[in-house]
Amino acid sequence: MSQLEIKNLHIAIGEKEIVKGLTLTISQGEVHAVMGPNGTGKSTLAKAIAGHPDYTITGGEVLLDGKSILELEPDERARAGLFLAFQYPNEVPGVSIANFLRAAQQARLGEGGELDATAYYKRLYEKMDLLKIDRKFTSRGVNEGFSGGEKKRCEILQMAMLEPKFALMDETDSGLDIDALRIVAEGVNHQRGPGLGVLLITHYQRLLDYIVPDYVHVMFDGRIVKSGDKSLALELEAKGYDWVKKELAQA
Amino acid sequence: MKPPVELEVPITADNPVAGIDQSVGDFSYDVKYELDAGTGLNEKTVDYISAAKKELPWLLEFRRNALKVFESKPLPTHWATRDLENINFDKIRYYLASGQKPKRTWDEVPDDIKKTFERLGIPEQERKFLAGVEAQFDSEAAYSNIKEAVSKQGVIFANSTEALREHPEIFRKWFGKVIPTGDNKFSALNSAVFSGGSFIYVPPGVKVSHPLQAYFRINAENFGQFERTLIIADEGAEVTYMEGCTAPKFSTSTLHSAVVELVALKGAKIQYITVQNWSANVFNLVTKRGLAHEEAEIKWIDCNIGSRLTMKYPGVVLKGRKARGEVISIALANDGQHQDTGAKMIHAADETTSTIIAKSISVGQGRSTYRGQVHIPKHLKGCKNNTECDALLINTNSRTDTYPAITVRGDANAVQHEASVSKVSEEMIFYMQSRGLTEGQAMSLAVNGFINDLVRQFPMEYSVELKRLIDLEMEGSVG
C-alpha cells in the first residue's frame, strides 16, 4: 500500500512563507479533508506538492513510497501517481480532450508502448457518461469556453482516466451548484477505493456530506492545528473558524 | 529558331559546381554540359532557354522583355529584409534540364533529414528524390489512373511549355495578365527564365473531385526553381490543386522564384494548397495571385515551414460582383529562418468579401512577419474584409512583426482586423505537465493547438504530417 508522507513542510512564495511546518500522511484508500479559512495555505500545499513553479520548498520533505519527490519535475510526479485537480483549471485551446488525455496516457506508456485506440475511446465514453458530460465534448478544446461546473467535471474525468494513486483536490466544490456538486462527488466516490488516496481541500462542510472523509484536518496559519474524523467538520460548521482560533489561543 | 548555343563554363578545381551552396555537403556532378545555360543571367541565357524548349517567337520576346524589366528594378530592400542582398544573381544557374542536377549519396544526407523522413513516414522511393540523391522521381505510373479520369472530363493538365505550345488559345489569353511581368523584381525574373510548373484548364461546369497535385508531373525540371503555374477554372468549374509536401525538400539552388496565376471565371471555385519545406539555404520568393470574377471563389491555403527566407503574399483581386477571396496562412520560423508572409485582398466590385487568417510561430531565433494589404475603394458598396493575425513566440529571442496595410474608403463597406501576440503560458504548461506530459510534449501540444483550426482545413494526409512536423520543430526549443 502506497503512502504520501508530508513531513514538516515549509513552502514560500517569493519571500513570504505560507506553509510553516505541515505534517500529514495519506495512505491509499483514505480520504483526508483539509479545511480552513482563506489565505491559510491550503491551495499552496496542493500546488506545491504537484510541483508548481511559483512555489519554493524552504524546508521539510514529501515522500511517495518512501522516496522524495521534491527533486522531480511536475510531469515525473504525475507519472509517479500524483494528480492535482485544479481550483481554476486552465484552458488548452485547440487541443481536444480526447487528444489531450490520449497524449497523457501515451506518456505513461513510455517509448514503444502503443495505446489501444478502441479500448481508450470506450473507457473515455464510459467515464464521460458517468459524469454526465456530453460525448460531443471529446472534440472540444480542453476547458475552452467551459462553464465553471463543466471545468470541474472535466477535472474529475481526467482523474478517472489517469487513475492516480493520490489525488490532491483543490477546492473542487468552489463555483458549483447543487446538481454539479452531486455529479462531481459521485464521480469521485466512484473512483474511491483501496487504490486511491485523496487530499480533499474545501471551505465548506457541504461537499463532505457527499464525499465522506476518513479524516478531517483544520489548517490555520500554515499548519494543521486540529485533526479528527468527519464529526470535526460538522463541529467546525456549527462553531466557525473563530472557535478554532480561540482554542489555539487557550492552549 | 536558333539551335542551342554551347556556352563556355569554366570548371575550376576548387569550385566545379558554381552556384551550389557548398555548406550543404559534397556532390558529384555530371560533367557533360549539353543542355546547360551556364551561370549568371543575360540575354544569351534567356535565348538559350527559349530555344531549348522550342518556343514560338512571341514567348521569346516575352522573356527578353522580362529580362530587361528584371535588370531595371532594384531589390525591394527599402521595405524588405536586407538579407536579399545576399543573393548572388551571377552565381546562379537558371536552367538545368533533367539528368543534370547534382547528386549526393544517401550517406551524405544529414541525419536530421533522414530522421524527419522517418518520423513523417515518407515512402522509401520518395526519400531519395527529396534528399537530392536522385534527380528524378517518376510518378507517371503511380498516378496515371487519376490523370486518365481527369482528362476524360476535358481537363487540360500540362507543364508550362507544353501548354503554351499546344493550347495557346486557352492559356495565352491569361498568361501574364494576373501577374504582369513588372509586378515586382522577382515576377520579372520568373517571367524571363520560367520552366516547369502546371498549366491547368477546367471546362465549364466541371467539378474535379480529386485534388490535382504537382506530384503528378514530377521530373527534375518541374520541381524546379522558377516554376510557372496558371490555373483557369471556367464558369461554374471547381478544382483543388496541391503543391509541395511536408517532407524537407533539398535544393542545391539557393533561389526559388515561382509565379502562380489563378483565374476563376463566373461562379467558379479554385482552392490552392501549398506546404513549403525547402532546405535552410533557399531564398523562396514567390508571387501568387488570383482573379475572381462574378460569384467566384479563390482560396489560398499556405503553410511555410522551410527555407532561409520566404517572401510570399497570396492575393485575390475580387473583380466581379459577390466574388470571395480567402487566405489561410500558417508560418513557422526556426533558427536562421525568416518567414515574411501574408496576403493581399484587392476589392474591385460591389458585395465582394475577403477573409485572411494568418497564424505564425517563432521558435528559437526565428523571425516571422505578417504583411497584409486590404484595399477597398470609395465607389464600392457592401464589401467586407475580416482579418485575423495571431503570432506565437516560443523563446525569448523569437521575433514577430506585423505590418497591416488597410485602405478602406466609402461608407458602405466593413473591415475587421484582429491581431494578437502571445507566449505559451507557464500556467498552461504546468497544467499539462501535471497530467504527466513532459515540458517538451506540453509545448508541442500547445503549439499544435494554436494552429489546430487552420490545420484542419488541409487535406487529411497533410494535416497529420503537419502535426508531426511541428512536433519535430519544437523538439529542442525547450530547455
Number of other residues whose CB lies within 10 A of the CB of residue A67: 10
Q: Which of B427, B437, B452 shows the shortest C-beta gap to A104?
A: B437
| Beta strand pairing call for B228-233 and B283-292 | unpaired
Cell of B337: 529562418
What is the mean pLDDT of the segment spanning B220-232?
75
Q: Which of A50, A83, A103 shows the shortest C-beta gap to B437?
A: A103
ipTM: 0.95
User: Considering the domain boundaries, does residue B8 fall inside one?
Assistant: no
End-to-end alpha carbon distance in chain A: 36
Nearest to B261 by CA among B294, B300, B304: B300
Residue B146's pLDDT is: 66
Q: Same domain for B189 and B57?
A: no
CA-CA-CA-CA torsion for B148, B150, B156, B162, nearest 10 degrees? -40
- B13 has a pLDDT exceeding 50: no
Q: Same domain for B376 and B441?
A: no
CA distance A20 to A11: 7
CA distance B238 to B336: 39
List the domain boundaries for chain A.
3-250
Residue A93 at interface with chain B, using a CB cutoff of 8 Å: yes
Cell of A135: 460525448
Residue B221's pLDDT is: 42
Out of B384, B401, B424, pick the residue that ends a domain: B424
Q: Same domain for B179 and B205?
A: yes
In 3-state terms, chain B is what percent helix, strand and coil (to 5)? 30, 30, 40
DSSP string for B67-129:
HHHHHHSPP-TTTS-GGGGG--GGG-B--B-TT-S-B--GGGS-HHHHHHHHHHT--HHHHHH
Phi, psi torsion values for A197, nearest 5 degrees: -105, 140
Q: Same domain for B251 and B161?
A: yes
Query: What DSSP designation does A135 have?
Result: G
pTM of the model: 0.83
Residue A113's pLDDT is: 73
- B78 has a pLDDT exceeding 50: yes
Q: Which residue, chain included where needed, has cell 515551414?
A: B305
User: A75 contacts in B (CB within 8 Å)?
Assistant: 433-439, 441-442
Q: Same domain for B259 and B194?
A: yes
Whole-number average pLDDT of chain A: 92
Residue A152's pLDDT is: 93
Residue A109 at interface with chain B, using a CB cutoff of 8 Å: no
CA distance B362 to B368: 6
Nearest to B266 by CA among B289, B292, B241, B290: B292
Residue B434 to residue A94, Cβ atoms within 8 A: no
Nearest to B107 by CA among B87, B128, B76: B128
Cell of A15: 519571500
- The answer to whether the CB of B237 falls within 8 A of the CB of B271 is no
Assigned superfamily of A3-250? P-loop containing nucleotide triphosphate hydrolases (3.40.50.300)
Residue to test with chain A: of B388, B434, B478, most A Cβ within 10 A:
B434
Q: Same domain for B216 and B168?
A: yes
User: Considering the domain boundaries, does residue B137 fall inside one?
Assistant: yes
Residue A89's pLDDT is: 96
Please list, in sequence order, all residues whose beta carbon lies within 8 angstroms of the beta carbon of residue B12, skipping any fewer than 6 positions away. none
Cell of B201: 484548364
pLDDT tens digits along B394-417:
998 899 999 999 999 999 999 999
- B20 has a pLDDT exceeding 70: no
Q: What whole-number percentage of chain A has pLDDT above 70?
A: 98
Helix (H) or strand (E) holding A142: strand A141-142
Helices (H) and strands (E) in chain A, counts: 9, 12
Q: Strand locations in B193-252, DSSP E?
A: 198-202, 212-213, 228-233, 238-244
Residue A78 at interface with chain B, using a CB cutoff of 8 Å: yes
- The answer to whether the CB of B287 falls within 8 A of the CB of B315 is no
CA distance A92 to B430: 11
User: Hey, CA dihedral for B250, B251, B256, B258, is it positive or negative?
Assistant: negative
User: Considering the domain boundaries, does residue B316 fall inside one?
Assistant: yes
Query: What DSSP designation does A84 have?
Result: E
User: B433 contacts in A (CB within 8 Å)?
Assistant: 51, 73-75, 78
Q: Same domain for B64 and B147?
A: no
Q: Which of B434, B449, B451 shows the shortest C-beta gap to A74?
A: B434
Cell of A246: 480561540
Give the distance from residue A202's alpha carbon to the nearest chain B alpha carbon, in angstroms.
20
What is the mean pLDDT of the segment spanning B286-311?
96
Residue B463's pLDDT is: 81
User: Considering the domain boundaries, does residue B121 fall inside one?
Assistant: no
Residue B11's pLDDT is: 34
- The answer to whether the CB of B230 falls within 8 A of the CB of B171 is yes
What is the mean pLDDT of the segment spanning B65-81?
94
Side-chain half-sphere CA neighbours of B176 within 13 A: 18
- B469 has a pLDDT exceeding 60: yes
pLDDT tens digits along A126-155:
999 988 899 998 889 999 999 988 999 999
Residue A89 to residue B431, Cβ atoms within 8 A: yes
Nearest to A117 by CA among A134, A126, A105: A105
How many separate domains does chain B show? 3
Q: Same domain for B88 and B132?
A: no
User: Considering the domain boundaries, does residue B119 fall inside one?
Assistant: no
Give the distance from residue A107's alpha carbon to the nearest chain B alpha carbon, in angstroms.
6
Grade residue B150 by pLDDT with cuts at 50, 70 and 90.
confident
Residue B476's pLDDT is: 67
Identify the bridge partners of residue B287 per DSSP, sorted by sequence position.
B259
Whole-number average pLDDT of chain B: 84
- B145 has a pLDDT exceeding 90: no
- B6 has a pLDDT exceeding 50: no
Which residues of chain A carry a pLDDT beneath 50?
none
- B33 has a pLDDT exceeding 60: no
Residue A141's pLDDT is: 92
Number of other residues whose CB lies within 10 A of the CB of residue B396: 8
Cell of B369: 512577419
Q: Same domain for B287 and B254?
A: yes
Query: What DSSP designation does B35 have?
Result: S
Sequence letter at residue B265: L
Nearest to A168 by CA among A42, A69, A54: A42
- B281 has a pLDDT exceeding 90: no
Residue B318, domain extent: 127-424
Residue A71's pLDDT is: 95
Number of other residues whose CB lies within 10 A of the CB of residue A14: 9
Number of other residues whose CB lies within 10 A of the CB of residue A10: 17
Residue to test with chain A: of B392, B422, B423, B431, most A Cβ within 10 A:
B431
Nearest to B147 by CA among B215, B57, B48, B47: B215
Sequence letter at residue A38: N
Q: Is B326 left (phi over 0), alpha (psi -120 to 50) or beta?
A: beta
Q: Same domain for B94 and B218?
A: no
Residue A66's pLDDT is: 93
Query: What DSSP designation does A203 have?
Result: S
Residue B428 to residue A75, Cβ atoms within 8 A: no
Phi, psi torsion values for A233, nearest 5 degrees: -65, -40
- The answer to whether the CB of B259 falls within 8 A of the CB of B228 is yes
Query: What DSSP designation does B132 have?
Result: T
Q: Which residue, chain included where needed, has cell 457541504?
A: A206
